[in-house]
C-alpha cells in the first residue's frame, strides 16, 4: 500500500479536530485561506478555544499553511470548509467550490477526496466531483476516488469529541486497496466507523440530523409562546409532561450557530428542486427565526428599561454555551440591538469570547463593581453562577431573570 499523506482543507471547528488527530499518525497538511487563522495556529493559538498549545504541536513533519503549492505531496484530501446560506436562505457553496478547485489543481492519479462539509444530497457527485475533474484533468473511478463523511463536531462538548463519536464514512464502488486507505485515515480520526456504499444517503443523513433537532426545538418554542399567551408556567407544563415515558426532553431556545439554522434550508432547497415544497421544515425555521424579536421585546418589557432608569446586565452572547463562536449568534444580535437603544442602561458579560471579539462588540469578560437591577442570561456558560455572585456583591437585591420560566 502506498504511503498516505492527508490534507485537511479548512481549519475551523470541523477541520482542526481532524488535523489534530491525523498529524499524530501521518505527515499531514492543514490548509486554510485565512492568513490570520494560519498565523495563530502556527503560534499554537486556537482562537476558538478548543485546543491547547500542546494539542497544536506539529508532529510527523506536518504543517499548517495557506499556500496551495504545499498540497502537491498530499494524496488524501478532506474538505471541511463552511457551507452557509445567503441572505435569501439559499445554499451558498462558494467556499466548497473554491476548495474543490484547489483540490483539482493538486490532484494526482490514485488520490482520494472526501467531502465533510454539510451539503444537500448530490452535491458531492454533481458539483464537487465535476469541478475536481475539470481542474485535474482526471476521471473519477478510473484515476481517483471520492467519498463523503458527515461531520458531527459539537463545539464545547468534550464527551462527544471527534474521536469518541460514531463517524459515517461513505465511498462507492472502491477496490480493497482504496477501502484500506480510507479505513486507515478515518480510524486515525474516530474509534467507531459506520461504513456505507451510498454517498447521497450519507449526505442526506447529515442534514436530517440537524433538521430533526431544529424542528424539535421549534415545537418547544411554539409551545412556550402559547404558554406565554395563556399566562401558563411553561416549565411546570414541561415538568409534568416529562413524567410520561415517551415524552422527549427538548427545551425552547435561541437557535444559532453554523449548523441548525442552516442545514434545514439545504434539505428544503433540494426538495423544492424536485417539486416538493417543504411543509414542515421551513415552518420550524420560521418559528425559530422569530424568537430573536420575541426575546428582545420580552427583555425590554420585563426590565422596563424604556421608562425607568434600570441597569441591566446580559450574560453570554455566543451562539451556545461554553464556546467562543459568535457565528449566527442570536444572543449577539439581541445585545447589538439593545445596546444601541439603551447603551447607558445595559452591559454585557461573556468570558468565553476572544479578546478581539469582546473589544469589537463592547463586551466585558467579568462582572465589574456596578449596581445592576437585572441579571439576564442569554447563554449559560460554566461560570454563570460565579458571575452572578459577583453581580450580587454590588446589589443584593439584583433580580435573576429566567427568560424561559
Burial class (CB in 10 A: 0-12, 13-18, 19+), 177: exposed
User: Closest by alpha carbon to 200, among 275, 131, 128?
Assistant: 128
C-alpha cell at 59: 508532529
Packing angle of the helix pair 199-230, 263-273 (nearest 10 deg): 110
327 and 12 Cβ atoms separated by less than 8 Å: no
Cα–Cα dist 403/405, whole Å: 6
Q: Match 411546570 to its residue by C-alpha cell.
A: 236
Beta pairing class for 112-115 and 145-148: parallel
User: Closest by alpha carbon to 261, among 299, 225, 198, 218?
Assistant: 218
Packing angle of the helix pair 281-303, 263-273 (nearest 10 deg): 140
| Alpha-carbon distance values, 69 to 74, 115, 338 (Å) | 10, 20, 47
Active site residue 259: yes
The DSSP code sequence of 344-366 is TTEEEE-SSS-HHHHHHHT-BSS
HSE-CB of 372 using CA atoms within 13 angstroms: 27
C-alpha cell at 369: 463593581
Which is catalytic among the residues 128, 259, 348, 352? 259
Burial class (CB in 10 A: 0-12, 13-18, 19+), 166: exposed
User: Closest by alpha carbon to 28, among 69, 66, 58, 68?
Assistant: 58
Q: Which residues are catalytic?
A: 259
Amino acid at each position: 500500500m502506498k504511503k498516505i499523506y492527508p490534507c485537511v482543507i479548512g481549519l475551523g471547528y470541523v477541520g482542526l479536530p481532524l488535523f489534530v488527530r491525523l498529524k499524530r499518525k501521518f505527515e499531514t497538511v492543514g490548509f486554510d485561506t485565512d492568513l490570520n487563522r494560519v498565523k495563530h495556529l502556527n503560534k499554537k493559538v486556537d482562537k476558538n478555544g478548543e485546543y491547547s498549545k500542546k494539542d497544536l504541536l506539529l508532529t510527523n513533519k506536518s504543517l499548517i499553511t495557506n499556500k496551495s503549492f504545499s498540497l502537491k505531496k498530499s494524496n488524501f484530501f478532506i474538505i471541511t470548509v463552511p457551507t452557509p446560506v445567503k441572505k435569501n436562505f439559499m445554499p451558498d457553496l462558494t467556499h466548497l467550490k473554491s476548495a474543490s478547485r484547489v483540490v483539482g489543481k493538486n490532484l494526482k492519479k490514485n488520490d482520494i477526496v472526501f467531502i465533510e462539509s454539510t451539503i444537500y444530497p448530490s452535491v458531492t457527485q454533481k458539483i464537487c466531483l465535476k469541478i475536481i475533474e475539470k481542474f485535474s484533468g482526471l476521471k473519477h473511478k478510473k484515476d481517483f476516488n471520492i467519498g463523503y463523511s458527515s461531520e458531527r463536531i459539537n463545539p464545547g462538548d468534550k464527551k462527544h469529541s471527534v474521536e469518541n463519536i460514531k463517524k459515517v464514512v461513505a465511498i462507492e464502488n472502491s477496490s480493497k486497496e482504496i477501502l484500506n486507505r480510507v479505513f486507515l485515515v478515518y480510524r486515525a480520526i474516530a474509534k467507531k466507523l459506520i461504513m456505507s456504499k451510498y454517498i447521497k444517503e450519507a449526505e442526506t443523513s447529515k442534514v436530517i440530523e440537524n433538521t430533526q433537532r431544529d424542528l424539535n426545538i421549534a415545537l418547544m418554542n411554539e409551545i412556550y409562546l402559547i404558554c406565554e399567551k395563556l399566562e401558563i408556567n411553561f416549565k411546570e407544563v414541561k415538568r409534568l409532561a416529562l413524567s410520561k415515558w415517551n415524552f422527549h426532553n427538548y427545551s425552547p431556545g435561541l437557535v444559532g450557530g453554523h449548523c441548525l439554522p442552516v442545514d434545514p434550508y439545504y434539505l428544503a432547497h433540494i426538495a423544492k428542486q424536485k417539486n416538493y415544497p417543504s411543509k414542515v421544515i421551513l415552518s420550524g425555521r420560521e418559528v425559530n427565526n422569530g424568537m430573536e424579536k420575541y426575546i428582545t421585546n420580552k427583555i425590554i418589557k420585563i426590565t422596563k428599561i424604556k421608562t425607568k432608569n434600570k441597569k441591566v446586565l446580559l450574560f453570554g452572547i455566543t451562539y451556545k454555551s461554553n464556546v467562543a463562536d459568535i457565528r449566527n449568534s442570536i444572543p449577539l444580535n439581541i445585545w447589538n440591538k439593545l445596546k444601541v437603544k439603551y447603551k447607558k442602561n445595559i452591559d454585557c458579560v461573556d468570558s468565553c469570547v476572544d479578546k478581539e471579539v469582546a473589544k469589537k462588540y463592547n463586551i466585558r469578560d467579568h462582572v465589574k463593581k456596578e449596581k445592576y437591577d437585572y441579571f439576564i442570561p442569554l447563554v449559560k456558560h460554566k461560570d454563570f453562577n460565579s458571575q452572578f455572585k459577583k453581580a450580587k456583591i454590588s446589589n443584593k437585591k439584583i433580580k435573576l431573570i429566567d427568560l424561559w420560566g
